[in-house]
Amino acid sequence: MSLNNLKIYLRRLFGGAAAVGVLALSVVGCGDKATGPVSSVPLTLVAQGVGGNTARYLAPAGSPLTASSAATDTIPVTFTKALLVVRDVRLVFPGDDDAQGQIRFRGPFVIDLLSGHAARLDTMMVQPGDYARVQGHFQMLRSGDADAAEFPGLVGSTVWLEGTIDGEGGGPFSFLARIDNEFQIRGLFRVAAETPATAFVAFDLSKWLSDANGRFLDPRDFENEQAIKSAIRHSIKVGMDDDRDGSMDDDMHEEDGD
């Protein structure tokens, strides 16, 4: 029986008002089985630095720096400070480019990459499902931001890197720069139903002073600033703690383009 014929039949049998009520109950009860709304689950965003506080880079051609060893042809660098400002991080559903299809963790977050432990940035209730990508922004720390009082030297900048270049021609360095870029990592980021989830954002500090060929980018040379900014962006990895052991999984996704 069609829906229209059912309406006529019920109206004759029960009367107008009663027919509407009976029809409503009939519609609610039809279908394979009733399904309720999916409950939100807590998602914790965690960030940390990887790569340690030392790194080795290939000596650039024509550089006044002398490699520490002719056999390895590398320049060792020791980091003593590594701070980065992330303005926000967003998980995005497939095909959703507006705010309704995104879960946004709002910062700014000042991440100490040499702290030696993962920093819990925020926890939000989110909809379970498969997210298609993670996006975010680098922006400078402003004087009115919550962390400005703790990191006054970082105000006006996005990254603050200090350390020592070893070997002849080396020495201490301090690199402060403003980065106003978006990063985007594509992949499968699954948040399971009825289970708390953790998303890890990792920054590989060992890649910050390296070009695409692994050659050293001297932070004391102003001409290397843009290349270092690009290297920082491409040092990002994001993944879910699928095995729920409280640490990053091996299958992290990397930043995938300019």
Largest Cα span, the chain:
99
Structure confidence by residue, pLDDT tens digits, 212-226: 889 999 999 999 999
Cα–Cα dist 251/230, whole Å: 23
Both structure tokens of 130: 């498969």
- SS3 category, 91: strand
What pLDDT does 93 receive? 87
Q: Is the pLDDT of residue 168 over 50?
A: yes
Q: Residue 203: what pLDDT?
A: 94
Beta strands 74-92 and 54-58, pairing class: antiparallel
Global pTM reads 0.78
Q: Which residue has the higher pLDDT, 144 or 240?
A: 144
Average confidence (pLDDT) over 191-219: 92
pLDDT grade, residue 167 (50/70/90)?
Answer: confident
Counting residues of the chain whose pLDDT is more than 90, the rounded percentage is 53
> How large is the average pLDDT for residues 170-177?
96
User: Can you read off the two tokens belonging to residue 167?
Assistant: 């070997």
Alpha-carbon distance of 63 to 59, in angstroms, equals: 7
Average pLDDT of the chain is: 81
Question: Looking at the DSSP assignment, which residues form a beta bridge with residue 57?
Answer: 75
- Contact call for residues 158 and 229 (beta carbons, < 8 A): no
pLDDT at 156: 97
Average pLDDT (28-57) is 75
Alpha-carbon distance 115 to 63, whole Å?
32
pLDDT of residue 3: 44
Residue 140 has pLDDT above 60, yes or no: yes
Higher-confidence residue: 132 or 23?
A: 132
The reported pLDDT for the residue numbered 208 is 95
Q: Give 122's strand partners.
A: 45
Give me the pLDDT at residue 95, please: 72
